[in-house]
Structure 1
Amino acid sequence: MDDALHNEHFTLSPIGHVVSDYPDKFGIPRQPGLAPAAQATLVLTPPYNDPLTVRGLEDFSHLWLTFIFHQSPERWSPLIRPPRLGGNKKVGVFASRSTHRPNRLGLSLVALTDINTQNGVTLTLSGCDLVSGTPVVDIKPYLPWAEALPDARSGFAPNTPSLIEVIFHPTALAALAQRQDGATLHALIEQVLRQDPRPAYQQKDAASGRLYSVRLRDADIKFQPYQNSEATTLEVVAIESYETPSSNA
């Protein structure tokens, strides 16, 4: 019986896909909820887009999404280097939340803000940490009385990541002022950059003058690090529009 289970293969069928503020992987917070201004929709696909599948879901404020890291390579390693450890120390893949996993499955806790059952089913989410186009394979309601354990041990990531200062050049502020979503995009940029999306090995080099770019919604955000009063500051120097590529359902 054990051998039969060991050799059995399971097939997962996506129930829908995410359309989010993150067209690219770079810049996405490493955990959900760290950028509450991030908006997304989960579009369910047939036959799972029957309104009956979400009856009663409106009574829950948060959802667990099980998804596939579809942009990660299928290869995996038993040891990985978590960014929270500076990208130097290795831990086991099952002691991490690395995207490079044997089955590429991820789990994300998101806030549910709206349900639309006209012409199918679309869920509006906030605090989402998924790249646009991510396939979702399951939805479950979050139960805080069963799943919020404040006394649980958190290993090498016991606290919320430290945040750094983010400032905006007048040119960037002017670009935001021209947009209808300028206020919410400003908040999203600040929430994303305060967590320093740069690779861990580059975060110590604030004097290089290197220009970085992160895409949020339909904007290309240019930012630059510099050292000020012994602390790193990220300055948003430009915000340029670009055409978001369409996502495949």
Structure 2
Amino acid sequence: MALDIIGTIDSCYPDKFGIPRQPGLAPSATAILRLKAPFDHPDSVRGLEQFSHLWISFIFHQSPERWTPLIRPPRLGGNARIGVFASRSTHRPNRLGLSLVELAGIEYTPAPALVLRGHDLVDGTPVVDIKPYLPWADSAEEARAGFAPEPPPRLAVQLSDDCRRVLDERPDGESLGALIREVLSQDPRPAYRRRKRDDRRYGVRLHDLDVRFHVQSSDHGSGENHESVIMVDSLVQRT
């Protein structure tokens, strides 16, 4: 069976690094799902505005086509192995993904496009299907969540004075600042880097900014990190 690409994502995440590992963890994240012909007929989204949330089926187009039966989920520290079908890893046989997103609006000029919030989709993601979310059918009160029973812990995020000035000068500074804090508070570093003191500088691309940051940790002489804070060092606009 061949899948038709019904649209693509224009995302605030230009790169994979830094994207929250699940939807809904960064509510300030925005995207536009632009439908492609012949699926961009206005009738194809008639009535969709009545729903607040959508299921987006998509392809992990930046992931390797080779799949593996065992993967190392970051939630387990990047060392423990579990079966690929017991995970949400991108290294899947058909590279299909599924995300629950908020429908913030529908634009009709020049063709239907869906405004999304709280997504976890990289720019250019191919979309293969859209379905409305039904709370009474799609939510199970007694569900078990295996090795991920709750949202990941968050770190405090501090911006330098220069970073705050950059945001103050932008008309979207408030929403962009919220997105920076939501994304970085989840510590986007590789899992193995979180278990020890880390002096490296990292960069995340959000909208048109390169966000440079490092993690400031204190171990109180024990060799284990007890307190960690994400320090945002600079915000550089890409040209």
Instruction: State the TM-score, normalized to the length of structure 2.
Output: 0.95
Pairing 1:158-173 to 2, within 5 Å after superposition: 158-173=149-164
1:50 to 36, 41, 44: 41
Instruction: Confirm or deny that 1:224 pairs with 2:214.
Output: yes
Instruction: Confirm or deny that 1:184 pairs with 2:184.
Output: no
Aligned to 1:193: 184
What code does the residue aligned with 1:236 have?
Answer: V
Q: CA deviation at 1:204?
A: 2.1
Partner SS, residue 187 of structure 2: coil
Aligned to 1:94: 85
Aligned to 1:23: 14
- In structure 2, what is the Cα distance between the partners aligned to 1:200 and 1:129? 18
Pairing 1:146-165 to 2, within 5 Å after superposition: 146-165=137-156
Q: CA deviation at 1:151?
A: 1.6
- In structure 2, what is the Cα distance between the partners aligned to 1:174 and 1:129? 28
- In structure 1, what is the Cα distance between the partners aligned to 2:211 and 2:158? 13
- In structure 2, what is the Cα distance between the partners aligned to 1:205 and 1:23? 28
What code does the residue aligned with 2:214 have?
Answer: Q
- In structure 2, what is the Cα distance between the partners aligned to 1:118 and 1:23? 24
Q: CA deviation at 1:118?
A: 2.6
Q: CA RMSD in A?
A: 1.0
- In structure 2, what is the Cα distance between the partners aligned to 1:212 and 1:117? 39
Aligned to 2:223: none
Aligned to 1:236: 232
What code does the residue aligned with 1:61 have?
Answer: S
Aligned to 2:203: 213
Q: CA deviation at 1:51?
A: 0.4
What code does the residue aligned with 2:77 have?
Answer: G
Q: CA deviation at 1:178?
A: 1.6
- In structure 1, what is the Cα distance between the partners aligned to 2:142 and 2:167? 41
- In structure 1, what is the Cα distance between the partners aligned to 2:43 and 2:107? 12
What code does the residue aligned with 2:19 have?
Answer: I
Percent identical: 56
Q: Can you list the C-alpha shifts for 1:159-182, whole angstroms capped at 9, x where unaligned?
A: 111111111111111111121111
What code does the residue aligned with 1:64 have?
Answer: W
Q: CA deviation at 1:109?
A: 0.3
**How many residue pairs are counted as aligned between the two chains?**
233
Instruction: Confirm or deny that 1:143 pairs with 2:134.
Output: yes
Q: CA deviation at 1:211?
A: 0.6
Q: CA deviation at 1:209?
A: 2.1
Aligned to 2:101: 110
- In structure 2, what is the Cα distance between the partners aligned to 1:116 and 1:188? 23
Q: Which runs of 4+ in 1 moved over 4 A?
A: none
Aligned to 2:64: 73
- In structure 2, what is the Cα distance between the partners aligned to 1:181 and 1:61? 24
- In structure 1, what is the Cα distance between the partners aligned to 2:89 and 2:171? 36
Aligned to 2:52: 61
Return 5+ residue gaps in structure 2 as ranges. Answer: 221-225
Instruction: State the TM-score, normalized to the length of structure 1.
Output: 0.92
What code does the residue aligned with 2:84 have?
Answer: V
